Amino acid sequence: MKKIMVTGALGQIGSELISKLRKEYGAENVLATDIRNISSGVIESGPFELLDVTDGEKMHQIAKDFGADTMMHMAALLSATAEAKPLLAWNLNMGGLVNALEASRELNMQFFTPSSIGAFGPSTPKKNTPQDTLQRPTTMYGVNKVSGELLCDYYFQKFGIDTRGVRFPGLISNETLPGGGTTDYAVDIYYKALAEGKYTSYIAEGTYMDMMYMPDALQAIVDLMEADASKLIHRNAFNVTAMSFEPEEIAASIKKVIPTFTMDYDVDPIRQAIANSWPDSIDTTAAKEEWGFTYKYNLDDMTKDMLEKLASKN
């Protein structure tokens, strides 16, 4: 049975990842760590340690004491926050990553960390963006993500560490709210649709971005980590996505369930500029061929499930 340590366990992906991993591998085999210890299902349902990922020694010690054989490094600042605080983003995103890779090298752990569609930039082909292509991002987040992809490849090639990763699109979930991302509008819209019947989008009409429902994203992590290593040609940062839409399309999907829903626009120039530099849609052939990537939810399935789940919580 795996012994998995997760950083950033109270974040948007981390908190749902912990409950999935605890179901799959047993609660006692999944150690959650985070810089905060706010009361939540994550802390109450299994082992938890406070950890600032920029403290490499403590990270190593916690992993060693737990007997971890797998590291899932999720702690990071998202794109809009990273743009507002670039130096903090560099220190946290790159410092945390190199510490997690070092702990994995020293303790011979299998390693996962997510990259993002943010690793692409304005010179990247915008439609059906290939797995291997130009990556010259213009955001601090993107610079961190490309550097991270390269660093993970380096740890595999140089030290033989079993590093694996995906490029996630915007992730939509009904459990933990994202914070500081560019794609967050596609989560906020569901909350506002239920609470107020209307939404003001900070992303402009006609702006396409890739998205995925959280259950599919979590399954992708488990499937990639369980995949036969001999079949992996790419390892770090497989393109994965389930849908690509613009604000009008998600609004139309919500209208099918809440016919009175309305949307208008108040575009945020900073997040819009980030969105404009990202692909419209990415190609997932490598992930499908090398480890059988698949997904269940399209836009309408996700909308139905999101609205049902959110409504049942109120």
| Residue 282 neighbours by CB distance under 10 Å | 26
182 is an interface residue for ligand AKB by CB under 6 A: yes
303 is an interface residue for ligand AKB by CB under 6 A: no
Interface with ligand AKB (CB under 6 A), residue from 148, 165, 170, 279:
170
**Distance separating alpha carbons of residues 249 and 104, to the nearest angstrom:** 42
| Residue 160 neighbours by CB distance under 10 Å | 10
C-beta separation of 303 from 256 below 8 A: yes
Draw the binding track, 67-96, toward ligand AKB (x: CB under 6 A; -: no contact).
Answer: -----------xx-----------------
Size of site (CB under 6 A) for ligand AKB: 11
CB of 165 to ligand AKB, least distance (A): 13
Nearer to ligand AKB, 42 or 171 (CB): 171
CA angle 30, 237, 229 (to 5 degrees): 65
Tell me the H-state helices in 160-228: 185-196, 214-226
CB of 25 to ligand AKB, least distance (A): 26
Interface with ligand AKB (CB under 6 A), residue from 8, 46, 96, 118:
118
CB of 164 to ligand AKB, least distance (A): 17
166 is an interface residue for ligand AKB by CB under 6 A: no
CA dist list (Å): 66 to 5, 38, 49, 140: 8, 21, 10, 33
Interface with ligand AKB (CB under 6 A), residue from 99, 104, 116, 303:
116
Active-site residue set:
141
C-beta separation of 201 from 40 below 8 A: no
183 is an interface residue for ligand AKB by CB under 6 A: yes
Task: Give φ, ψ of 171 to 5 degrees.
Answer: -110, 135
CB of 125 to ligand AKB, least distance (A): 18
Piece in contact with ligand AKB (CB under 6 A), picked from 23-31, 115-123, 239-247, 304-312? 115-123
CB of 118 to ligand AKB, least distance (A): 5
CB contact set of 273 (below 8 Å; sequence gap of 6+) = none
CB contact set of 238 (below 8 Å; sequence gap of 6+) = 131, 165, 166, 167, 224, 284, 286, 287, 290, 291, 293
**Contact residues: ligand AKB, CB under 6 A:** 78-79, 116-118, 168-170, 181-183
